């Protein structure tokens, strides 16, 4: 075999030398790599690490939509082999936001319009500020459950990451198709918030529907108040910003 030929594919782990490996080495757990390094293999490795297609991107998105308490609860319990962790999920959201910026450069979440790049960065910064603020609200609301602030932050990362994804992939495109110049109506976001917040109280031991509806209403009002406060602060700091209500 000439020297220019690619090496014959084997199932020997290139990391520890163990034989009999399939997709992953049974001894060290590394993904088995065979063949030469190419641009395709580098991109494949990058997207595999980011999106974790083998172990949960689509499952994470599906369960965050229909049973988010399970996703957060699994992470709290240390069972982290099924769903994307909050840090990796947040990285996926950041990548999607970057793609959204390329496709819709004058919009952010369908309600904010500006051509000032500095203002858009400030909008995104303030939206990111909602994560730790919302975690603080959960800590105060459910402090008796003896969860740490950081555990509540995991909840808000998942929730707000999903809110961004739903907005970018569903709400904004629908507003574009329906030719809504001011973006999606505020009640669309409010309805999503209210419906989704009802799914989280079981995480804190409040499984009854009356408790869930009450908690969902309280959390929705608080979240909207925080959002409005951030928007008013942004409007004060940046007069060039137009907020479509």
Over residues 128-150, the pLDDT tens digits come to 778 888 888 888 888 766 788 99
72-99 core/surface letters (b: 16 or more CB in 10 A; e: else): beebeeeeeeebbbbebbbbbbeeebee
Predicted local confidence at residue 79, as pLDDT: 85
Whole-prediction pTM:
0.69
Is a pLDDT exceeding 70 seen at residue 237? no
Confidence of residue 158 (pLDDT cuts 50, 70, 90): very high
Predicted local confidence at residue 104, as pLDDT: 65
User: φ and ψ at 157, to 5 degrees?
Assistant: -65, -45
Helix (H, G, I), strand (E, B) or coil at 185: coil
Count of C-beta atoms within a 10 Å radius of residue 136: 15
User: Alpha-carbon torsion 95, 97, 99, 105, what sign?
Assistant: negative
162 or 187: which carries more pLDDT confidence? 162
User: 221 exposed, middle or buried (CB, 10 Å; 0-12, 13-18, 19+)?
Assistant: middle
Of 155, 161, 165, the residue nearest 135 (C-alpha) = 155
């Amino acid at each position: 075999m000439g020297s220019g030929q690619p090496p014959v594919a084997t199932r020997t782990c290139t990391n520890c030398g163990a034989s009999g490996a399939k997709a992953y080495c049974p001894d060290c757990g590394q993904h088995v790599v065979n063949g030469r390094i190419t641009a395709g293999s580098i991109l494949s490795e990058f997207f595999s690490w980011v999106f974790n297609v083998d172990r949960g991107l689509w499952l994470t998105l599906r369960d965050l939509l229909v049973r988010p308490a399970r996703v957060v609860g699994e992470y709290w319990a240390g069972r982290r082999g099924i769903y994307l962790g909050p840090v990796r999920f947040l990285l996926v959201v950041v990548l999607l936001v970057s793609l959204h910026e390329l496709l819709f450069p004058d919009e952010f979440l369908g309600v904010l319009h500006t051509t000032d790049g500095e203002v858009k960065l400030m909008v995104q910064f303030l939206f990111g500020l909602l994560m730790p603020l919302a975690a603080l609200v959960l800590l105060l609301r459910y402090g008796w459950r003896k969860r740490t602030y950081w555990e509540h932050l995991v909840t808000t990362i998942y929730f707000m990451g999903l809110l961004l994804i739903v907005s970018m992939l569903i709400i904004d495109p629908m507003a574009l198709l329906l030719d809504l110049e001011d973006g999606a109506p505020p009640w669309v976001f409010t309805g999503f918030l209210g419906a989704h917040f009802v799914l989280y109280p079981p995480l804190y031991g409040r499984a009854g529907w009356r408790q869930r509806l009450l908690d969902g209403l309280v959390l929705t009002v608080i979240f909207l108040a925080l959002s409005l406060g951030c928007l008013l602060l942004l409007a004060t700091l940046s007069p060039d910003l137009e907020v479509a209500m």
